[in-house]
Structure 1
Amino acid sequence: MALWREMRAEGFPGQSGVVSQWAQRRRLGEKAHQSGLARTPSARIIARLMTSARDDLTKSEAILVAAIERNVPDLVVARTTILDFQSMIRSKAAAKLDSWLVAAKQSLVGSFASGVEKDIAAVRNAIISPWSTGQTEGQITRLKLIKRQMYGRAKLHLLQARLIGAT
């Protein structure tokens, strides 16, 4: 109200309601801006940003990643460790697995490394083997999708007919 009186004295022809609405919008805008800066992204968002290629990030996402890297160096180490694991699998370099496990246990992905170590023979074979279960997993996923779509509607004979018709 005091602001409106000052503005009126300087020649503002509007009503006090216009000034109060403007002030309210401005306060809400400032509050939203402050909460947007202070809001911590979820773990899922951070994981996606940290594992995405830098070229695929928007400007605001790149700024957020830079802030995360500057303030949480453990996440940078974890990202590097994950990228090393991916490149080890893609290049079929099973010899690097033991040294990777030692480094990974000291980072934020230590629980993942412990799981890999528990089944190290299978992981080593998966790295060096030319075979993949990707085709089989895809077919199983497709079968489960069709089965879920038909839930409670039919027995095995109709599911079989639908699967044959879906191919």
Structure 2
Amino acid sequence: MTAGTRGCTNAWTLWKEILPLGYKGSYQRVRAYLHDKRTSPRPVTAGPPSPRALAGWILRHPDTLTESEQLQLKSVRTRCPELDALTGHVRSFATMLTERQDDLPSLPTLAAGIHRDLDAVIAGLTLPWNSGVVEGHVNRIKMLKRQMFGRAGFDLLRKRVLLA
């Protein structure tokens, strides 16, 4: 692969490569051409939105978004069907909660349980610690117990748990 096809910006190298290809111009002309390319303003392109900004657009009420934010969210939703579905679910859930419309009779029970354990819910969502290791051991012990149901007594179960 030649330097010219890799996007070479060294004028001397590029001039040396294009001479055998039939270029009749001078080195100064190649140098001036590359100088113009380096100094000309490049079109400004906006990068993708940050995850935090995108989450904010999805979680806020659509009427509170600026026109620019609405256009950017619409662009993201058309490009990603998963985010489009997520936005629909979030908005329908918000409508359900704010307008107290629910087709799920257990939703008030869930909300009451979350409210009752609010400190634990906040701690679980914000603190870096979790009980995943303990839950893994409990799951493993329950699996061993299911495997040995009706086959052996507590002593053998105890040995399998301690040795596994």
- The verdict on a shared fold, with TM-score over 0.5 as the criterion, is no
- Could you state the TM-score of these two structures normalised by the residue count of structure 2? 0.38
Give 1 or 2 for the bigger CA radius of gyration. Answer: 2
Query: Comparing both chains, which one has the higher relative contact order based on Cα–Cα distances under 8 Å and sequence gaps of 6 or more?
Result: 1
More helix by share: 1
- Could you state the TM-score of these two structures normalised by the residue count of structure 1? 0.38
